[in-house]
């Protein structure tokens, strides 16, 4: 690698880490829930609200439109999926979640996959929300997929539906009921990272809680073991965001389109 290419690559990484507004592919996707553990009333059921987080600042930064999504749904304790129709009025894809039975529910959001390419042309760094096809002086080019889940435990939720996979290509599975743990720093939440339904070994796992930082900072970092399992120390009570990122070389059919594959999954939940 030439010195010039090295400097350009370093600059690209700095820009992506800093979260430059136009680098949409570097944004994180997550789900905000106003009440992760709503009370259940026999006559009225339970209600909460969901809206998307998008960007590098919590709880929200940028806007998403519904046509950028492949899926926005609610998965009930029996694995049945119901599509959610969010409102675009405020830009955060807000949705009322009305639930008629107690139990563990999962909100699922999948963003449409895409490409992000950075390259040099006429002495300037340029950006393309597309593959590297037809371009030269490529600095980086990634295919990205983004998945988000959120756990809602309604009333006196029984069973272990909270750890049922919803089928995301990259997915974070809580292995213990978060409602039974405490955010005093002594409890650990075990999670398993799955990639194509199998344990994702040695993937970095980041976690943070509401109030730790409004920027793209995380309170806890660890690495999944050989079974794809990571243990997150619960340093605080409240809403938590867990994130896993997996990068792989391009598949054979993607080699002409990008230099790497980037998969991101997030899980939001509440710790009492």
- List the one residue out of 247, 246, 272, 240 whose CA is nearest residue 31: 240
Instruction: Tell me the two tokens of residue 167.
Output: 């089928």
Residue 18 lies in a domain: yes
Whether 260 shows a pLDDT value over 80: the answer reads yes
Residue 195 lies in a domain: no
For the chain, how many structural domains are there in total?
1
Q: What is the pLDDT of residue 88?
A: 82
In this structure, are residues 266 and 30 in contact, taking their beta carbons and an 8 Å threshold?
yes
Which tens digit of pLDDT belongs to each residue from 114-141? 999 999 999 999 999 999 999 999 999 9
Which tens digit of pLDDT belongs to each residue from 18-62? 333 334 447 889 999 999 999 999 999 999 999 999 888 888 788
Instruction: Tell me the two tokens of residue 68.
Output: 């950028």
Average model confidence (pLDDT) across the chain: 89
Instruction: Tell if the pTM clears 0.85, that is, is over it.
Output: yes
Q: What is the pLDDT of residue 27?
A: 85
- List the one residue out of 102, 112, 107 whose CA is nearest residue 51: 107
Residue 82 lies in a domain: yes
Residue 163 lies in a domain: yes
Which tens digit of pLDDT belongs to each residue from 201-250? 999 999 999 999 888 889 999 999 999 999 999 999 999 999 999 999 99
Residue 88 CB partners (closer than 8 Å, separation 6+): 65, 66
Reported as a pLDDT band with limits 50, 70 and 90, residue 6 is very low
Q: What is the pLDDT of residue 9?
A: 45
- List the one residue out of 148, 141, 90 whose CA is nearest residue 115: 141
Beta bridge partners of 115: 143
Residue 206 lies in a domain: no
Residue 199 lies in a domain: no
Higher-confidence residue of 199 and 185: namely 199
Distance of alpha carbon 187 from alpha carbon 233, whole angstroms: 6
Residue 196 lies in a domain: no
Q: What is the pLDDT of residue 3?
A: 47
In this structure, are residues 73 and 108 in contact, taking their beta carbons and an 8 Å threshold?
yes
Domain housing 174: 3-181+250-271
DSSP 8-state code for residue 253 = G
Q: Percentages helix, strand, coil for the chain, rounded to the nearest 5?
A: 10, 45, 40
Q: What is the pLDDT of residue 100?
A: 94
Residue 24 lies in a domain: yes
Distance of alpha carbon 207 from alpha carbon 183, whole angstroms: 13
Q: What is the pLDDT of residue 23?
A: 41
Q: What is the pLDDT of residue 2?
A: 54
């Amino acid at each position: 690698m030439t010195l010039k290419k090295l400097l350009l690559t370093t600059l690209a990484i700095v820009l992506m880490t800093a979260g430059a507004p136009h680098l949409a592919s570097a944004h994180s996707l997550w789900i905000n829930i106003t009440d992760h553990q709503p009370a259940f009333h026999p006559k009225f059921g339970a209600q909460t609200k969901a809206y998307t987080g998008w960007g590098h600042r919590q709880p929200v930064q940028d806007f998403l439109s519904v046509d950028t999504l492949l899926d926005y749904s609610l998965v009930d304790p029996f694995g049945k999926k119901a599509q959610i129709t969010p409102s675009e009025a405020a830009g955060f894809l807000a949705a009322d979640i009305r639930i008629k039975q107690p139990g563990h529910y999962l909100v699922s959001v999948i963003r449409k996959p895409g490409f992000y390419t950075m390259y040099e042309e006429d002495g300037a760094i340029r950006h393309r929300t597309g593959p590297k096809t037809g371009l030269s002086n490529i600095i980086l080019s990634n295919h990205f997929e983004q998945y988000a889940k959120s756990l809602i435990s309604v009333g006196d939720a029984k069973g272990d539906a909270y750890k049922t996979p919803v089928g995301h290509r990259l997915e974070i599975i809580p292995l213990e009921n978060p409602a039974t743990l405490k955010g005093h720093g002594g409890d650990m939440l075990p999670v398993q990272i799955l990639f194509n339904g199998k344990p994702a070994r040695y993937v970095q796992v980041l976690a943070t809680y509401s109030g730790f930082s409004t920027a793209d900072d995380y309170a806890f970092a660890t690495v999944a073991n050989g079974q794809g399992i990571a243990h997150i120390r619960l340093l605080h009570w409240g809403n938590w965001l867990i994130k896993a990122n997996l990068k792989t070389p391009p598949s054979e059919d993607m080699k002409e389109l990008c230099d790497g594959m980037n998969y991101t999954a997030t899980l939001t939940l509440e710790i009492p």
